[in-house]
Amino acid sequence: MIRTRFAPSPTGFLHLGGARTALFSWAYARRHGGVFALRIEDTDVARSTPEAVRAILDAMDWLGLDYDEGPIYQMQRMDRYRAVIADMVERGLAYRCWMPAAELDALRAAQMAAGEKPRYDGRWRPEHAARHGLVPPAGVPPVIRFRNPDTGHVEWDDQVKGRVGFANAELDDLVIARSDGTPTYNFCVVVDDIDMGITHVIRGDDHVNNTPRQINIHRALGRVPPVFAHVPTVLGEDGQKLSKRHGAISVMEYEAAGYLREAMVNFLARLGWAHGDDEVFSPDEFVGWFGLDAINPAPSRFNTDKLNWLNQEHMKRLPAAELGERLRPYLARAGLDVAAGPDPGETAVLLRDRVHTLTEMADAAHYFYATPHPARDRIAEHVNAANRPALVALGEAFADLPWTREAIAVRLKSEAAKHGLKAPQLMMPLRMIVAGTTQTPSLDAVLALLPREAVRARIAAGLGL
Ligand code: GLU
């Protein structure tokens, strides 16, 4: 059974790169009928906040990344880590080290001065300490170090990067518990991955350097390490590391800006993964196609135009009623009274070819839910002696016809002709009067969605009748 996890540190919102990692881990488990678990890595007490946990959970919820297990909080597992550490010391897999920080600093400085990589020299390994007669200082709490193998290589077949290897000689004996007894990051990850039965670790490639250490700890504990897949960074449009400078990088900012979760999933999926030439796909299709082998090892770039395009494509794919439901909260956020106008599904279908986000859609829909009051001079730009009689006559012309799009279209044409006007000469001023803008979808469709009396009242008000 495949078991994956997403293991965010709750030190801020869920950013795009993190969301993409979560999506890949989730999709891999779903694709294989496995288990997806959520683990909150909150041991950095100074930087972890409950608000950040909430923000991560909200973002996962919005994206539809449901987890089967968790959230598991590392802070609630301290006893377990301590027990494993005690056991490792007992079994000689780890040992106490009393080297003072100042000495360690001096050692590192000397190594660097000699052009060597700074590393702890293993002096408190029990056999070394015994040989050199080192005596633990009284009353000083030790750190606990993992006894890393001295020779050989740690290698793994990374599912994205291919074969990756490190020489053990480059890895020193990692501190797994600080002098106050708190376990350290790389150690907790291993204990958790073991206890959670994780088979596949899919995470950002900023963790590649941690992996050899983690593999050695897995092996010391008698475990076969999980399969690793390190996914490359997401870069900004300019090829630089994605940061605030690039605008919104928190997933939930995209929700607020009116992007559909389907489009966001599609967009995140395409950041470094592809399925042939398929550009627009649903979360279900993605799950059906997803594999680690198709992840591109090169960093991917964020592209706002592509996201906007995808969002529009997904708006077009949604059934009208569903899109209307999605639009509803954005109308409310725009201060519009949804009950005062047509079913949002009908509005959405009319507008979706013209906008890229639900926020733009709500904005473009304002004249359906609130009476626009275009300024006199704006109306005057469009109404003149030639078209005014036709506009005045529309009040009457609209009084008796069936209030359907087709009937309205026919009547508009015939009224224009009757007054010797071309259709646009009547439509443009009418748009301004009824909608407060000349940018509207097909006018007959717009009018049909408004109550006849509202249209007649707007015409009368606009013309000052
Ligand atoms: N907590 C780590 C992070 O947020 C992830 C560690 C892991 O996936 O192993 O980058």
Mean pLDDT, residues 81-104 taken together: 97
Q: Provide the 3-class DSSP secondary structure of residue 286.
A: helix
| pTM of the predicted protein model | 0.93
Q: Which CATH number is 376-463 given?
A: 1.10.10.350
Q: Which residue puts its alpha carbon closest to atom 5 of ligand 1? A: 7
State in Å: Cα 81 to ligand 1 middle. Answer: 17
* Sign of the dihedral through C-alpha 99, 101, 103, 105: positive
In order of 148, 202, 326, 429, 431, the CA distances from 366 in angstroms are 66, 44, 16, 18, 13
pLDDT at 242: 80
Residues with CB under 6 A from ligand 1: 7-9, 41, 189, 201, 203-204, 207
Chain segment 242-295, per-residue pLDDT in tens: 877 777 688 999 999 999 999 999 999 999 999 999 999 999 999 999 999 999
- Distance separating alpha carbons of residues 263 and 259, to the nearest angstrom: 7
For β-strands 94-97 and 143-146, DSSP reports them as antiparallel
* Gap from CA of 207 to ligand 1 centroid (Å): 7
Question: How remote is the CA of residue 122 from the centroid of ligand 1, in Å?
Answer: 28
Q: Which CATH class is domain 1-67+232-317?
A: alpha beta
Radius of gyration, CA atoms only, the chain: 32
Structure tokens at 28: 């891999």
Q: Whose CA is nearest to atom 3 of ligand 1?
A: 8
CA angle 278, 279, 284 (to 5 degrees): 75
Q: Which one of 3, 9, 234 would you pick to mutate in the ligand 1 pocket, going by the greatest count of ligand atoms within 8 A of its CB?
A: 9
Q: Contact at 8 Å (CB) between 231 and 208?
A: no
User: What's the rounded mean pLDDT across residues 436-463?
Assistant: 97
Q: Say what the pLDDT of residue 243 is.
A: 74
Residue 457's pLDDT band, with cuts at 50, 70 and 90, is very high
Domain segments of the chain as ranges: 1-67+232-317, 80-177, 320-370, 376-463
CB 271 within 8 A of CB 242: no
Contacts of 305 (CB under 8 A, 6+ apart): none
- Can you say whether residue 327 is alpha, beta or left, with left for phi > 0 and alpha for psi between -120 and 50 degrees? alpha
pLDDT in tens, 364-422: 999 999 999 999 999 999 999 999 999 999 999 999 999 999 999 999 999 999 999 99
71 prior amide bond cis, ω within 30: yes
Q: Which CATH class name applies to 320-370?
A: mainly alpha
- The CATH number given to 80-177 is 3.90.800.10
Alpha carbon of 426 to ligand 1 centroid (Å): 62
